[in-house]
Amino acid sequence: MFLGLLSDAKRMSPEWDPAPSRANASRSRFFGGAVLGGCFGLALMAAIAPMHAAAQENPPAAAQAAAQPTSGEAAPVQDEPVIAFDEPERRDLSFKLPAGQTIDVDNPHGSVFLRFGGYEHTLDIRATIQQPKGAPRFTFAPGAQGGRFVVAPSLPGGGVRAEGQRIDLVLYVPENHALKVRTVDGAIESRGLKSDLDYGTQTGNISARGTDGTIQAETPEGRIRISLNPGARPGSRQRFATRTGDIVVGVVDMLNAEVTMATSGTIATDYSIAVEHRDREEPSKRARAVVGGPQAGESNAVVAVESLRGNMQLWRRAVFSTAEDDQDDDAE
């Protein structure tokens, strides 16, 4: 087409008309220039069209090419700064307590672990401190306050601990010293204590095993695991409560207590229960189980298990006899 247009243009140019008039010559020059301009425009559009089509198929290509470093290497990923810590610090403390003195532990900066500490009214404390370099240091000075023995690590001015900063406590608690423990997000875990216990945490988990005494345990968001010894104290009231956390309670047939349960979650148990449904309330289910032979009236021992939406389990623990018990049975 391009060659044909050039041929037509030549025929209409002055060389093809030996004696053109002035008007015809002017029209010929105008028409020939217009045709040549159109031809060049068509040729330019033909050259640009493939590039335009490629850009339509892959629009981000130009942006990606512009985003690449001029050196041709990928941009480096910046790592988060590494926190520098001092060497972990351990403090071992020991205190002689008056008989029966209550122990208060308030540790918003870590977990609390508790073990039986004997019969001599001696409280032993093991503290492990993790301290970022440059962060304010914990103030830790356990002692008697208002008739109680208080263990309460703190930061100067009531400040908030730095990232990674914490203090975890292990307490060896002597017999018959009632214990109250509070944390924020740290766990509370005890084994073999011979005292009444009162545990509370905001988001941490609570666990208690082998306790000779009553237990109160509450955590809105954490979970609770309790293993109860035989023979609940007559007339005692024990309560384990969450909002959304699960609760697992292990008992033996000699618990001799009434167990009440309330939740909108599921209830699973090895014992016979009577369930009352309250569809317009929360919790929407209430149940009751009798474990062993609880006493009547005010001497009845009660274990209350409560949650808004957490799941509940009431399991029967197996009781194992010792080798000496087996020998006595054989002798009979």
Kindly report, residue by residue over 146-175, the tens digit of the pLDDT. Answer: 999 999 999 998 888 899 999 999 999 999
Dist. CA 97–CA 174, nearest whole Å: 9
Q: What is the pLDDT of residues 89-146, one digit of tens each?
A: 999 999 999 999 999 999 999 999 999 999 999 999 999 999 999 899 999 999 999 9
- pTM comes to 0.72
Dist. CA 142–CA 136, nearest whole Å: 19
164: closest CA among 84, 98, 223?
Answer: 84
Dist. CA 156–CA 51, nearest whole Å: 68
Q: Are strands 274-277 and 285-291 parallel, antiparallel or unpaired?
A: antiparallel
